[in-house]
Amino acid sequence: MLALSRKMNESIMIGNDIEITILEVKGDQVKIGISAPKTVSIYRKEIYQQIKESNQEAAKTAATDEALKKLFK
């Protein structure tokens, strides 16, 4: 993991087209702004994990559905 120090209104670049800017620091919270192309999905990690788990569950269900369809053909 790369750890960087930044002050308010300072940024870091990821590749050529993703910019992360420190907008505000209040106590133990940091507000960041992210500028990225619309094709880049950005999620909070806990939401990303929920989506990932949901997709895995859907894939399992789809595989089971396909197996049942083959059984009854």
Q: Write out pLDDT tens, residues 28-38.
A: 999 999 999 99
Distance CA 38, CA 19 (A): 13
> In terms of domains, do 66 and 47 share one?
yes
What pLDDT, on a 0 to 100 scale, did the predictor assign at position 71?
67
> Given a cut of 90, is residue 65 above it in pLDDT?
no
> In terms of domains, do 27 and 53 share one?
no
> In terms of domains, do 51 and 71 share one?
yes
Residue 17 covered by a domain: yes
Look up the pTM and report it: 0.70
Residue 2 covered by a domain: no
Q: Which residues contact 37 (CB under 8 A, 6 or more apart)?
A: 17, 18
H or E segment and range at residue 49: helix 45-71
Instruction: Determine the structural domain holding residue 18 and report its residue range.
Output: 8-38
Q: How many domains does the chain have?
A: 2
